[in-house]
Amino acid sequence: MIKLYEGGAWLLNGKELVADTKDAEQALSQRLGARAVDKRQAAMGTMAWRILETHNTSGSMEKLKIKFDAMASHDITYVGIVQTARASGLREFPLPYVLTNCHNSLCAVGGTINEDDHVFGLSAAKKYGGIYVPAHQAVIHQYMREMHSGCGKMILGSDSHTRYGALGTMAVGEGGPELVKQLLGRTYDIDMPGVVAVHLTGRPRPGVGPQDVALAIIAAVFSNGYVKNKVMEFVGPGVGALTAEYRIGVDVMTTETTCLSSIWTTDGPIEEYFAVHGRPDSYTAMAPADVAYYDGAVEVNLSDIKPMIALPFHPSNAYPIEELLRSPGDILAETEKRGREQLGEARRSYSLQSNLVNGEIVVQQGIIAGCAGGTYENLWAAAHILKDKTVGQDVFALSVYPSSQPVNLALTESGAIAALMKAGATIRTAFCGPCFGAGDVPANGTLSIRHSTRNFPNREGSKPGDGQIASVALMDARSIAATAAREGKLTPATALNADYGIPKYFFDAKVYKNRCYDGWQSPRPDLELVYGPNIADWPAMQPLAEHLLLQVASLITDPVTTTDELIPSGETSSYRSNPLRLAQFTLSRKDPAYVERATRVRELESLRLQGKDPAADKALADALQTARGIGGYEDLDVMSCGIGSVVYAVKPGDGSAREQAASCQKVLGTLANIAQEYATKRYRSNLINWGMLPFLCADIPFEVEDFILVPDIARAVSEKRAEIPAYVLSKGGAKRFVLTLSDLTDDEREIILRGCLINYYRG
């Protein structure tokens, strides 16, 4: 079904893959009529290389400095981005910047504060020349596909699922500070990423949808990091067997592989997509060169893909549905066991096997939503399956969220919405809530099947720390509809005979024209930003001190820590515009004692900054005494030491691009993370942009509440030292260990030295 190459691969004429064996270059030269084959030259033949080269401003394809064509943010992130850019000298938006309102659309928590953020966003679009998409009009990625994608373009978004590769657009999801850099005329700085070919052959069988293909790929490449921080380039004859929306549905899920970005060959269906959306000039035929070289390859035979289900708590925990139904007890028991290992207090009551009834798996909720599930074709396929059927009058419920108002309108006019409603489905507006834990939160102990993007703990809105836990399994809209047609009994869509004849889609641009604000290239600097009472400025952040005294405030030994565990989604989203208030939720799902520990250490730093001696604190005094016993630091002055906390996690940062996973730690006085590795580039970048040191360390020589001395850290950063000595301070003495700090650009070092990105731009 899926094969991973052990090394690199050559692609000939966009169709044939050849493994990069020892004699491959010579054999290819002979095959191509003695034409010389050069690996480096062939690497320039990828679509990714050409797009990156076009957008690179550095003059070097080894060290890229990228300027994007457009950007997008939603209402969880844009307030902080605008506030950071404003504090750093923003005058107007230098590129099209779209502010959508698809996350904090509901005003269920905190009174007026969600809608206050929306008013702020509109005022920012007016003042700085942006584009504003009101709540319920479109989810962020659907709007960008419809209105701003284009073959050969690059788009940056402050949401991890910023993926428009199927439309010939290389898109990257990053933390807010990276968007701030673009707003200030700076660049996105990365090393040239590796490029991996995803070679598609065959065609999907009826009943197999894009989520099935995506989950199969994620299962094959996530755990081994095969495409981590690389570009996935979709090629091969199988691409032509897929409609534009089918490709979009696969593409958006590439985020869950931890790749950097994606790009696809483009052809007739993509040309038609742009024509339908009134932008025919945005289409260009794109394909690799006749001979292209890739750093790896993934072979996918679409004909072999079966309906899939990703069980809790990760999209990579995927199985063919028919395999699960053959051995439900064993697979559910194993998943339940792994789930309990990461659920904290909720582990005692967590059960999946309770959903096994008379040999069948019974689910209580189905949702088809957002940028992955809520597309025209997905919802029409679901409507066909459910026509003249019922979801039943018992516990099972089905909710449908079209991805935009134009999609909703087309579904309504063509009859799909009527068919879904008659079957008992509830129709919602364009909203991302089911993807991050707001809206349609299932009951405790239930199992929800969703065509959405993630199924991490709490992504459905429960609170494991309070003993609440529901489970989400990811599936394709077709199999969700098939399950709904059997009133919640898990069923692959291939088990039903359904007519998938989908009416032609007609996009009505008036929906946006009559409601959205487009101020691009028309800033109104005389206008004031409109602040609600919950919108607060960032607190002052200090430059990096000469030495650091760090107390371990949290030590997480899970194999992977998601950004949702670092800063929860769901009800906390309402406080995104208030850094101090939001910070109180930091690590609340994973380590509830962290905030108190970090706050206590922050108070010691506050005393130091006021010129008062913080060493009245006994733990700090004892640590100082131990530190002064280290040779060369007998006269260590506490006033020259930045005092802060540190968080250790084995592999933090998988999942969302939300910068708050890092900024909330900094607001609480955390000055560094220590990890064995960082799950994503975007989380590491967020740490750096908030002035936090992204240390690496293979071992854990410390415990919670131990103090660590990192001497001469400012000099080490300035002098680009890769290895930095540190000391665990205890009553028994100082234990030396080594921290690694590598692969920082000159700008990143300066940002850390100055304390954060805001300080860096202020000068």
CA distance 712 to 608: 18
Identity of residue 718: S
SS3 321: helix
> What's the pLDDT at 575?
79
What kind and span of H or E run contains 170?
strand 170-173
Conformational region of residue 518, where left means phi above 0, alpha means psi within -120 to 50, and beta covers everything else: beta
Do the Cβ atoms of 130 and 519 come closer than 8 Å?
Answer: yes
SS3 201: strand
> What's the pLDDT at 380?
96
> What's the pLDDT at 81?
93
The pLDDT tens digits for 543-568 are: 999 999 999 999 999 888 988 888 88
Identity of residue 186: R
Identity of residue 575: Y
Of 171, 165, 172, the closest CA to residue 248 belongs to 165
Angle between helices 376-386 and 477-485 (to 10 degrees): 20
Q: What is the mean pLDDT of the chain?
A: 91
Residue 39 Cα distances to 10, 13, 43, 233, 692, angstroms: 9, 16, 6, 17, 39
Structure tokens at 540: 């002052």
Do the Cβ atoms of 646 and 550 come closer than 8 Å?
Answer: yes
Q: Which residues of the chain have pLDDT under 50?
A: none
Domains of the chain: 2-62+193-304 (3.40.1060.10), 66-189 (3.30.499.10), 337-507 (3.30.499.10), 547-762 (3.20.19.10)
Q: Work out whether strand 97-100 and strand 70-73 pair parallel, antiparallel, or are unpaired.
A: parallel
CA distance 644 to 762: 23
Q: Work out whether strand 195-201 and strand 231-235 pair parallel, antiparallel, or are unpaired.
A: parallel
The neighbouring-strand residues paired with 134 are: none
Rg (CA), the chain: 26
CA distance 263 to 616: 58
Dihedrals phi, psi of 195, to nearest 5 degrees = -125, 125
Identity of residue 376: Y
Do the Cβ atoms of 143 and 515 come closer than 8 Å?
Answer: no
CA distance 302 to 279: 30
SS3 408: helix
Conformational region of residue 229, where left means phi above 0, alpha means psi within -120 to 50, and beta covers everything else: left
> What's the pLDDT at 543?
95
Q: Work out whether strand 2-4 and strand 231-235 pair parallel, antiparallel, or are unpaired.
A: unpaired
